[in-house]
């Protein structure tokens, strides 16, 4: 009997709560502090917005399930993220139970903006409490918040927190234990009638009345030594912004930062990439040496191991790029970069919010396309998705390096610059300029929807928090491996089949790929691509290159019947193409890789992000058309000038 009386804690059911708040309020830091490694990341049903769920047990022994909802400025959604937040809270998201209660997170130093969301949430009638996060920063700026008075005015519990510090969530955990939410009925909060009433109540809120109520709350609950309701930015932030937001120095600082980021992506990643390459090669050799020659060994070595390795080798570059992006975001700089570029990008039909997705696309177009979810205007989001593949992703570097090394002399021009480096820089700039031109054309084709001002909060600068950075990188690495590695692996197995079957007939003298389905396809494509200088061997290499750009180099080696691998392959292949191709063909192929559609994995992500095949088909057609036209011009001009 005594055993039964001591067991109730273990028999408690987890209570589902949701963290909700504006972007940059520290909500995710709070989620990480509460749940640690007990997190699951996926997608919400029917959409591609990330779903983050974790679990923890409060000091009182109550188990909790917690959702980290996407950041939202309002429940009157204008972005996919905000729509998901609204639907989850109201119980409208497919296969998603409505949370029993809400934990609204607000930046204590910017209550004028965040309290508007709190007042919207109160109209829903869902149990909730308010967390004034980053209270230390508010106090550093001289703000004094009467927490008890604010709680009485809002008629909900209000606590303070510093999510990035150990023990910074103790007040929240105590409030959860005292809330009694663990005893709430396990049924959902919302019915169809109450959902409709909730939406109507939010829509009926007067913007002016809400603003006046926020000002009233600030007046009676918040004080500042200077006698104002708002505190100025931190002195250090003010000093940095004099340069970071300066119309001349600001863009220069941004350019230097981006240069350093790309230098790090392409320099720091070389060692771990070599290690991954060596590891997959060693694994392939080990498996190959311990299996009898046959289809199964070829499938495992050439299809599975080589396919996974071709995806994983770029993981270090993805991690390095996201480390910089997450650090710049956590420090408070990225919103300022978007602000600086808003006017320039607005001239071609984009907003400053497109900066981060396009920046991400330089590592891989897939995370760049996924990052467009935070863009409010559907037209801006669609245009950004359509031009993201024009940003030069890291998978194109092996092809660029091979062709530049083979056909561009390694010499210094003007006594300062390396000619090969100038060509590589030109290829990057060609993609950027092409993206801006396409955006400008699409703006005219799709119609002008009216200029939308870029409104966003500029948080104080602070050092990135290593815990948040580590968790963010782990999450991004897992997403990359799961969503990209598995797709490429499956496609490589398919392409292995196409390159292997049917086998060469008895007495065949040509490489086996000549007689395969892929070889037959390459010779058929030569009819279409010969006007831009491509022979059938190049056409064959383009087939596996659609699965992963970097595979094109290995495919060319197979086509030319080379037995070497690794560095020996690169050197031998360079000699062969120097002897077999003209400069016009090489420049035409470089141009093709600048503009042609990204890998099939990118197109599949576009299909998921746009919920249909229409946009991927449009993207494929326009990119192929652009690549063909530009390659034809480059090929003909080079022939004209070189004879």
Query: Per-residue pLDDT tens for 72-105?
Result: 888 887 777 788 888 899 888 766 788 999 999 9
Q: Tell me what pLDDT residue 336 has.
A: 83
418 vs 288 pLDDT, higher one: 288
Task: Kindly provide the b/e burial profile for residues 210-229, where b requires at least 16 CB atoms within 10 angstroms of the residue's own CB.
Answer: eeebbeebbeebbbeeeeeb
- Flag whether pLDDT at 256 surpasses 60: yes
Using pLDDT thresholds of 50, 70 and 90, give the confidence band for residue 331: confident
Residue 343: how many other CB atoms lie within 10 Å: 11
- Top mean pLDDT of 18-22, 180-184, 301-305, 317-321 is at 18-22
Q: Tell me what pLDDT residue 591 has.
A: 95
Q: Which of 480, 497, 428, 493 minimizes the C-alpha distance to 605?
A: 480
Residue 161: CA count within 13 A, CB half-sphere: 31
Q: Is the dihedral of CA 276, 281, 286, 292 positive or negative?
A: positive
Q: Tell me what pLDDT residue 570 has.
A: 47
Tell me the C-alpha distance between 434 and 354, whole Å.
Answer: 15
Q: Tell me what pLDDT residue 37 has.
A: 63
Q: Quickly tell me which residue has 């389905």 as its tokens.
A: 517
Q: Please give the structure tokens belonging to residue 393.
A: 């992703």
Mean pLDDT, residues 169-192 taken together: 75
Tell me the C-alpha distance between 48 and 27, whole Å.
Answer: 20
Q: Tell me what pLDDT residue 42 has.
A: 62
104 vs 72, 110, 573, CA distance in Å?
11, 14, 60
Least confident of 31-35, 254-258, 310-314, 317-321: 310-314
C-beta of residue 355 within 8 angstroms of C-beta of residue 338: yes
Tell me the C-alpha distance between 184 and 465, whole Å.
Answer: 35
Contacts of 558 (CB under 8 A, 6+ apart): 499, 511, 513
Q: Which of 50, 54, 43, 52 minimizes the C-alpha distance to 95?
A: 43
Q: Tell me what pLDDT residue 77 has.
A: 78
- Flag whether pLDDT at 188 surpasses 60: no
Q: Tell me what pLDDT residue 356 has.
A: 74
Tell me the C-alpha distance between 142 and 438, whole Å.
Answer: 48
C-beta of residue 594 within 8 angstroms of C-beta of residue 434: yes
Residue spans per domain, the chain: 11-231, 249-393+428-449+467-478
Q: Tell me what pLDDT residue 564 has.
A: 43
CATH architecture of 11-231: 3-Layer(aba) Sandwich (3.40)
> 375 by DSSP, 3-state: which?
coil
Mean pLDDT, residues 157-180 taken together: 92
Tell me what percent of the residues of the chain surpass a pLDDT of 90. 23
CA 565 to chain centre: 33
Q: Tell me what pLDDT residue 203 has.
A: 73
- Top mean pLDDT of 56-60, 109-113, 180-184 is at 56-60
Using pLDDT thresholds of 50, 70 and 90, give the confidence band for residue 184: low
- Flag whether pLDDT at 181 surpasses 70: yes
500 vs 494, 555, 638, CA distance in Å?
10, 13, 36
Q: Which residues are annotated as a binding site?
A: 21-28, 32, 35-36, 46-50, 68-71, 133-136
Q: Quickly tell me which residue has 């047990």 as its tokens.
A: 57
Q: Which residues are annotated as a binding site for GTP?
A: 21-28, 46-50, 68-71, 133-136
Q: Tell me what pLDDT residue 633 has.
A: 96
- Tens digit of each residue's pLDDT (9 = 90 or more) over 608-623: 888 888 999 999 999 9
Q: Tell me what pLDDT residue 454 has.
A: 58
How far the first Cα of the chain sits from its last, in Å, is 98
559 vs 148 pLDDT, higher one: 148
- Tens digit of each residue's pLDDT (9 = 90 or more) over 198-250: 667 777 777 788 889 999 999 999 987 654 445 566 778 888 888 988 888 98
> Apex CA 62: angle with CA 56 and CA 64, to 5°?
40
Using pLDDT thresholds of 50, 70 and 90, give the confidence band for residue 507: confident
Q: Tell me what pLDDT residue 565 has.
A: 43
- Find the helix packing angle between 466-480 and 315-331, rounded to 10°: 140
Residue 566: how many other CB atoms lie within 10 Å: 10
Q: Please give the structure tokens belonging to residue 261.
A: 């980021």
- Top mean pLDDT of 184-198, 343-357, 465-479 is at 465-479
> Apex CA 50: angle with CA 98 and CA 115, to 5°?
60
C-beta of residue 421 within 8 angstroms of C-beta of residue 392: no
- Tens digit of each residue's pLDDT (9 = 90 or more) over 265-307: 656 877 887 888 788 878 888 888 888 877 788 778 766 776 6
CA 344 to chain centre: 22
CA 119 to chain centre: 31
48 vs 557 pLDDT, higher one: 557
Q: Tell me what pLDDT residue 583 has.
A: 92
Q: What is the mean pLDDT of the chain?
A: 80
What is the β-pairing status of strands 15-21 and 412-413? unpaired
Mean pLDDT, residues 591-595 taken together: 94
State which H helix or E strand residue 383 sits in.
helix 378-387
Using pLDDT thresholds of 50, 70 and 90, give the confidence band for residue 563: very low
- Flag whether pLDDT at 18 surpasses 60: yes
Mean pLDDT, residues 544-566 taken together: 62
- Flag whether pLDDT at 523 surpasses 80: yes
Q: Tell me what pLDDT residue 158 has.
A: 96
- Flag whether pLDDT at 264 surpasses 50: yes
- Tens digit of each residue's pLDDT (9 = 90 or more) over 40-54: 766 655 555 677 899
What's the pTM value of the predicted model, to 2 decimals?
A: 0.62
- Flag whether pLDDT at 488 surpasses 70: no
Tell me the C-alpha distance between 152 and 155, whole Å.
Answer: 5
Contacts of 55 (CB under 8 A, 6+ apart): 14, 35, 38, 63, 64, 65, 66
Q: Which residues are annotated as a binding site for Mg(2+)?
A: 32, 35-36
Q: Please give the structure tokens belonging to residue 387.
A: 């031009």
Specify which residues 63 forms β-bridges with. 57
């Amino acid at each position: 009997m005594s055993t039964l009386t001591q067991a109730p804690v273990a028999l408690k059911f987890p209570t589902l709560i949701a963290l909700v708040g504006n972007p940059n309020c520290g909500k995710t830091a709070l989620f990480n502090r509460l749940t640690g490694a007990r997190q699951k990341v996926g997608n919400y049903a029917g959409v591609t917005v990330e779903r983050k769920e974790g679990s923890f047990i409060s000091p009182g022994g109550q188990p909790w399930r917690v959702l980290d909802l996407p950041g939202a400025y309002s429940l009157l959604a204008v972005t996919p993220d905000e729509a998901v937040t609204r639907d989850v809270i109201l119980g409208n998201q497919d296969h998603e139970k409505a949370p029993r209660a809400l934990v609204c997170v607000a930046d204590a130093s910017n209550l004028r903006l965040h309290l508007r969301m709190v007042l919207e949430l109160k109209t829903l009638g869902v149990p909730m409490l308010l967390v004034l996060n980053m209270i230390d920063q508010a106090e550093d700026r001289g703000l004094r918040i009467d927490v008890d008075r604010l709680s009485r005015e809002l008629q909900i519990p209000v606590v303070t927190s510093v999510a990035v510090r150990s023990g910074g969530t103790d007040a929240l955990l105590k409030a959860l234990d005292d809330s009694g939410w663990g005893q709430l009925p396990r049924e959902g909060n919302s019915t169809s009638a109450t959902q409709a009433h909730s939406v109507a109540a939010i829509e009926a809120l007067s913007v002016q009345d809400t603003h006046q109520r926020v000002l009233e709350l600030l007046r009676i609950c918040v004080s500042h030594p200077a006698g104002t309701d708002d505190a100025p930015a931190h002195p250090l932030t003010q000093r940095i912004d004099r340069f970071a937001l300066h119309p001349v120095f600001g863009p220069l600082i941004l350019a230097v930062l981006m240069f350093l980021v790309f230098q790090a992506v392409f320099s720091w990643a070389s060692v771990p990439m070599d290690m991954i390459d060596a590891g997959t090669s060693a694994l392939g050799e080990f498996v190959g040496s311990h299996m009898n020659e046959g289809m199964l060994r070829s499938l495992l070595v050439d299809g599975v191991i080589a396919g996974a390795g071709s995806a994983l080798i770029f993981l270090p570059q993805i991690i390095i790029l996201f480390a910089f992006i997450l650090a710049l975001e956590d420090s408070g700089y990225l919103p300022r970069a978007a602000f600086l570029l808003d006017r320039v990008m607005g001239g071609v039909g984009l907003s400053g919010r497109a900066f981060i997705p396009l920046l991400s696309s330089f590592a891989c177009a897939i995370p760049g396309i996924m990052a467009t979810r935070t863009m409010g205007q559907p037209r801006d989001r669609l245009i950004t998705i359509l031009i993201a593949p024009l940003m030069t992703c890291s998978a194109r570097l092996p092809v660029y390096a091979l062709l530049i090394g083979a056909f561009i002399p390694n010499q210094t021009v003007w006594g300062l610059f390396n000619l090969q480096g100038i060509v590589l820089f030109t290829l990057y700039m060609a993609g950027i300029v092409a993206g801006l031109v396409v955006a400008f054309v699409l703006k005219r084709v799709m119609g002008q929807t009216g200029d939308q001002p870029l409104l966003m909060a500029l948080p104080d600068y602070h050092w990135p928090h290593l815990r948040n950075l580590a968790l963010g990188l782990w999450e991004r690495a897992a997403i990359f491996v799961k969503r990209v590695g598995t797709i490429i692996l499956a496609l490589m197995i398919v392409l292995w089949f196409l390159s292997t079957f049917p086998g060469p007939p008895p007495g065949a003298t040509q490489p086996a790929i000549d007689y395969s389905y892929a070889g037959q396809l390459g010779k058929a494509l030569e009819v279409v691509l010969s006007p831009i200088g491509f022979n059938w061997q190049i056409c064959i290499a383009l087939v596996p290159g659609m699965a992963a750009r970097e595979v094109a180099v290995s495919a060319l080696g197979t086509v030319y019947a080379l037995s070497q691998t690794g560095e020996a392959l690169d050197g031998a292949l360079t000699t062969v193409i120097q002897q077999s191709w003209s400069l016009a063909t090489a420049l035409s192929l470089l141009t093709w890789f600048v503009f042609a559609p990204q890998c099939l994995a990118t197109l599949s992500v576009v299909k998921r992000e746009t919920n249909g095949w229409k946009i991927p088909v449009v993207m494929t057609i326009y990119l192929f058309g652009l690549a063909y036209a530009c390659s034809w011009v480059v090929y003909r001009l080079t022939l004209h000038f070189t004879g």
